[in-house]
A = this chain, B = another copy of it.
């Protein structure tokens, strides 16, 4: 399959400085790609290139497999991009949201309905008649998101879309986004500094450092085996594993992960596939099987495959049907006598399992 959007041998310069160099980047139709990386890495610049707004000094951008040169306007109208700053126009919020539609010549009557739908979806109904210039930071960000989503584009490019939102909104919007993206099959690329958001939303993650793509791959892969320390610093180290839902009842979901079964709290979860995420500090290791009753619902037997010191703690990698990482204190390591090859039981609560729904 040809990529929806692809970069070949791109170089972007500002003055004499080379700020972005991408040998190859393919964004597949329907996928969600998260871009992570330190400040000033070139993430926003990458997005500008993908949005056909910055013509690179060198290299080619391909849309559906063919070079974009000369048809930028037509192609741009199939996309929508939201910048890091919300650049709203000095007109009403409703007019701001309707902007892209009227640029595409949609008649006023038709616009109204769409605009209202998206006003509502981003929780800014009340602001419809207010000026785009007098909004709070978060309100402005919502409006600028609505302004892009209302276009129902086939590609959407978002630059730190949730940075100014309050946490509950951020979470519910992330949920919505997951729903919208999977409903519509929109191709999406978004820049974020929030690992959770990336893990939750993205099919693939690209980590950019110093103007270069340091690692790109499926979310689980990047998160669980970062290519190097720099990447690790930006994605964190977590256990992330693909899983299939086996059954789901009483608010509990049972999943098969690798050779193991894992129970998790459902919390409205409905998909048939998922990524299972576990924080290292949520996993308890024990060397003997216990029979007592606790609120721990998952007990997986396995073998220690690696031990890495990490500050005051130690990260223990174990294969328990799938690879997982637990962080324990040095003293526990000694007391339990854990070494590579030691058989261990990894326990974690169903509530500690974070599920990320996956596609169809």
Contact = CB atoms under 8 A, between A and B. Distances in A.
A292 B288 contact: yes
A335 interface: yes
A15 to B, nearest CB: 9
A176 to B, nearest CB: 15
A331 B136 contact: no
Interface string A99-138: 0000000000000000000000000000000000011111
Nearest to A290: B292
A73 to B, nearest CB: 26
Nearest to A332: B295
A215 interface: no
Contacts of A7: none
A52 to B, nearest CB: 20
A170 B192 CA distance: 13
A65 to B, nearest CB: 31
B349 A281 contact: yes
Contacts of A282: 281-282, 352
Contact of A294 (B142, B160, B290): B290
Nearest to A269: B312
A158 to B, nearest CB: 13
A286 B284 CA distance: 14
A295 B193 contact: no
A307 interface: no
A191 to B, nearest CB: 9
A39 B352 contact: no
A166 interface: yes
A252 B295 contact: no
A350 interface: yes
A168 interface: yes
Contacts of A347: 284, 294
A165 B288 contact: no
A284 B348 CA distance: 9
A265 B328 CA distance: 9
Contacts of A170: 193
A251 interface: yes
Contacts of A84: 137, 164
Instruction: Pick the 3 closest A-B CB pairs, nearest first.
Output: A39-B138, A251-B312, A286-B294
